[in-house]
Structure 1
Amino acid sequence: MKSRNAIVLVVLLALIGLAVYQSVAGAKKEPAVAKEGSVKANYAAPAFELEGLDGGRYRVGGQREKPVVVNFWATWCPPCKEEAPDLQKLYEQYKDQIDFYGVNLTQSDKLDEVRGFVNQYGLKFPILLDKSGGTAELYKFVFIPTSYLIDRQGNVREVVNVLTYAEWEKKLKELAKM
């Protein structure tokens, strides 16, 4: 029980550290490309192109007509399962204002399980398949699910992990204005 509490404490401290860092980094005015480490707020989002579960090709990066939510997830991740219904509801609510992409960590998943997950949760937004793990490596996140809120100019405005529906709504209302 002590080791479980220690793990929870370490994860909690890491998330608090990330929140403090994002708050401090948010004071920067000019987005730039992150030189090393994970992708951070107020930096240009790395561009990528992936095949979707539907067979289409999707490109993320650079200027766009709408802001973007990029959510990295896997079928074996319990918080991803908790978050999926909220993301689908938010997609339905904001799909005319914000593009949503779910990036499955397909290198560590099975394609039939990905399809089952998408069907189980009724996900209608594009599900992109990171078969090689290259996109995950490009973004260098630590936890899943991790979502990147990207403005119309292609800059990461916020990096978030698990949020309540109300927290998501508040963040997406702001993102839709960017």
Structure 2
Amino acid sequence: MRKNIPILALLIVLLGIALYQNYGNEVRSFLGAGSDKKTLGAALAEGAPKPGSPSPAFALQGLDGNTYKVGGERDKPVLVNFWASWCDPCKDEAPDLVKLYEKYGDRLDIYGVNVTAYDTVEKAEAFVKEYGIEFPVLLDKKEEAYKKFNGVAFPTNVLIDKDGVIQDLIVGILPPKDLEAKIKKLLQSS
């Protein structure tokens, strides 16, 4: 096995050189080298709807059989949470969303959107049961809603005001107090 280590190291170096030669400009651009500097977050968020713009509209069926709509004017602001059952940060965030729904559910809709294109209905149902989720859980079986928000990571949270305007788009998990502060700000502005 020790005889193979130099050969493996050489292969890795050669592979790195080949990738750099073929994709060097793209890698340098993505990592921020050269004149076109981008942060990883900016690169991920390219093409996503921006705060201050109207939310893309979608309608999805929930686990309860009802159809839920996002986009345009509504009675309450909404937090749209895109997730998958296998996502560890989603598991970490689920209890916080349950608490936020208990605290603000009379003034804020929370829709958990399981991106079922990357999951299964059965696993989504088990997740909902395990975490005691009572807010509506929608099934994005064809990834249509997630794509409208240029989804790139789980969880992704979108805060939308009563006028259907995106107020915040959060890729990844926030500490519970930070997410709650954003919700309070959303409720104060609505």
| Pairwise same-fold verdict (TM > 0.5) | yes
**Contact 1:63–1:152 under 8 Å retained in 2:** yes
Letter in 1 for 2:137: I
| Residues in 2 aligned to 1:66 and 1:93: alpha-carbon distance in whole angstroms | 14
Of 119, 122, 127, the residue aligned with 1:109 is: 119
| Residues in 1 aligned to 2:101 and 2:149: alpha-carbon distance in whole angstroms | 22
**Contact 1:39–1:141 under 8 Å retained in 2:** no
4+ aligned runs moved over 4 Å, structure 1: none
Q: Does 1:87 align with 2:107?
A: no
| Residues in 2 aligned to 1:39 and 1:123: alpha-carbon distance in whole angstroms | 27
Q: Does 1:48 align with 2:74?
A: no
Letter in 1 for 2:168: E
User: Structure 1, unaligned stretches of length 5 or more?
Assistant: 1-9, 22-35
* Higher RCO by CA contacts (8 Å cutoff, separation 6 or greater): 1
Q: Deviations over 1:109-141 (max 9, x none)?
A: 111110000000000000000011111111112
* SS of residue paired to 2:60: strand
Alpha-carbon distance, 1:14 to partner: 2.2
Residue in 2 that maps onto 1:156 = 166
* SS of residue paired to 1:62: coil
Superposed counterparts of 1:3-18, under 5 Å? 14-15=40-41, 17=42
Alpha-carbon distance, 1:99 to partner: 0.6
Of 153, 156, 172, the residue aligned with 2:183 is: 172
Q: Deviations over 1:39-65 (max 9, x none)?
A: 221110001000001111111110111
| Residues in 2 aligned to 1:142 and 1:116: alpha-carbon distance in whole angstroms | 24
Question: Rg larger in 1 or in 2?
Answer: 2
| Residues in 2 aligned to 1:48 and 1:61: alpha-carbon distance in whole angstroms | 7
User: Structure 2, unaligned stretches of length 5 or more?
Assistant: 1-30, 32-38
* SS of residue paired to 2:103: helix
The RMSD of aligned alpha carbons is 1.6
* SS of residue paired to 2:82: strand
Q: Alignment length, in residue pairs?
A: 150
